[in-house]
Chain A
């Protein structure tokens, strides 16, 4: 089934450790996004990439980095995790302004 695959589905991470959340799409969409979802705050954009080789900062980029080496993959890295990064992370993609396709999310708990 075409779509977005996120891994892992959940993770408990010790504060100070690093982690990479994986996101892969098979729709050849140009644009990809990382959001975090926190109760009462909706979805907030962390980083985005309009096309392979380019990335940009969203609303809440601090503490996160991304890369876009090719069209399909858009990993999100936490270099040194802090408890405030406990959240549900969603990857999404779009080939135009007609709507996003979302992954199923990664639930991250930083302790």
Chain B
């Protein structure tokens, strides 16, 4: 069963604009992670946010977490063509070490 669900499924923006992707989940979590996947490649870990954190930054990435709404957002500022990829959120099920991935958001950054 999928825990995280990303929204929107696909997003097209112009280079230089900001991109926002959202993730909703159903049950309580300890951690939520965001990953990037370039076409035909494996997933790359971007950032992890814990349930007691509300916001985290890494370079041009900003992740927020609202546990009351069971949602997270990933903001990519000043987007570049190289940011074109699929982005996935993953949440832990609260036991073991297994994370569940959502179906992803396909981001296209147009030059």
A45 near B98 with CB under 8 A, answer yes
Which of A43, A56, A58 makes the CB contact (< 8 A) with B88? A43
Question: How many residues on the B side are at the interface (Cβ–Cβ under 8 A)?
Answer: 25
Chain B residues numbered 62-111 whose CB sits less than 8 Å from any CB in chain A:
88, 90, 92, 96-104
B43 near A97 with CB under 8 A, answer no
Q: Give the size category of A's interface with B.
A: 20 to 34
Which of A90, A99, A104 makes the CB contact (< 8 A) with B45? A99
B97 near A103 with CB under 8 A, answer no
B59 within 8 A of A: no
CB closest chain-A residue, reference B1: A59
Binding site for A on B (CB under 8 A): 1-2, 30-31, 33, 35, 40-45, 48, 88, 90, 92, 96-104
Binding site for B on A (CB under 8 A): 4, 31, 33, 35, 40-45, 48, 50, 56, 58-59, 90, 92, 94, 96-105
